[in-house]
Amino acid sequence: MRITALAGGVGGARFLRGLRRHLDTLPDGPHELTIIGNTGDDITLFGLRVCPDLDTLLYTLGGGVHEQQGWGRADETFAVQHELAAYEVPPQWFGLGDQDFGTHIARSLWLGQGMPLSRVTARLAERWGLPGQHVRLLPMTDTPVETHVVVEEGEEQRAMHFQEWWVRYQAQLPAVRFVVAGMDHAVAGPGVLDAIRQADVVLLPPSNPVVSIGIILTVPGVRDALRGTNAPVVGVCPLVGGAPVRGHADVCLEAIGIDVTPAGVAGLYTDFLDGWLVDERDAGAPVAGLRVRACPLLMTDVDAAAAMGAAALELAMDLRKAA
Nearest Cα neighbor of 58 from 2, 117, 115, 109 is: 117
Question: Judged by CB under 8 A, does residue 112 bind a copy of itself?
Answer: yes
**131 near a copy of itself (CB under 8 A):** no
Decide: is 273 part of the binding site for a copy of itself (CB under 8 A).
Answer: no
Q: Is 97 in the site for a copy of itself (CB under 8 A)?
A: yes
CA–CA separation, 25 and 287 (whole Å)? 32
Smallest separation, CB 89 to a copy of itself (Å):
5
Binding of a copy of itself by 114 (CB under 8 A): no
Contact predicate 35/66, CB 8 Å: no
| Residue from 98, 194, 200, 224 binding a copy of itself (CB under 8 A) | 98
CB of 86 to a copy of itself, least distance (A): 5
Q: Is the Cα dihedral 108, 109, 115, 118 positive or negative?
A: negative
86 touching a copy of itself, by CB under 8 A: yes
d(CA 288, CA 275): 11
Nearer to a copy of itself, 69 or 270 (CB): 69
CB 188 within 8 A of CB 117: no
Q: What share of the chain is helix, strand, coil (3-state, %, to 5)?
A: 40, 20, 40
Which of 25, 68, 88, 323 forms a contact with a copy of itself (CB under 8 A)?
A: 88
Which member of 39, 103, 141, 208 binds a copy of itself (CB under 8 A)? Answer: 103
Among 1, 32, 108, 317, binds a copy of itself (CB under 8 A): 108
Chosen residue from 26, 79, 243, 322 binding a copy of itself by CB under 8 A: 79
| Phi, psi values for residue 174, rounded to 5° | -65, 115
**Is the Cβ of residue 77 or residue 270 nearer to a copy of itself in the bound state?**
77
Q: Does 95 bind a copy of itself (CB under 8 A)?
A: no
Site for a copy of itself in 32-61 (CB under 8 A): 46-48
Kindly give, in sequence order, each residue whose CB lies less than 8 Å from that of residue 267, ignoring residues fewer than 6 positions away. Answer: 258, 259, 287
Piece of 8-16, 93-101, 227-235, 265-273 that binds a copy of itself (CB under 8 A)? 93-101
CA-to-CA separations, 88 to 79, 81, 82, 102, 221, in angstroms, rounded: 14, 10, 10, 21, 43
Please list, residue by residue across 111-137, b when 16 or more beta carbons sit within 10 angstroms of its beta carbon and e when fewer do.
beeebbbbebbbebbeebebeebbbbb
**By CB under 8 A, is residue 69 in contact with a copy of itself?**
no
- Asked if 124 touches a copy of itself (CB under 8 A), the answer is yes
Is residue 115 within the footprint of a copy of itself (CB under 8 A)? Answer: no
Distance, in Å, from the CA atom of 253 to the CA atom of 276, rounded to the nearest integer, reads 18
User: What is the smallest separation between the CB atom of 105 and a copy of itself, expressed in angstroms?
Assistant: 5
Query: How would you classify residue 2: left for phi > 0, otherwise alpha for psi between -120 and 50, otherwise beta?
Result: beta
Q: Which residues bind a copy of itself (CB under 8 A)?
A: 46-48, 76-77, 79-84, 86-89, 97-99, 101-103, 105-106, 108-109, 112, 123-124, 127
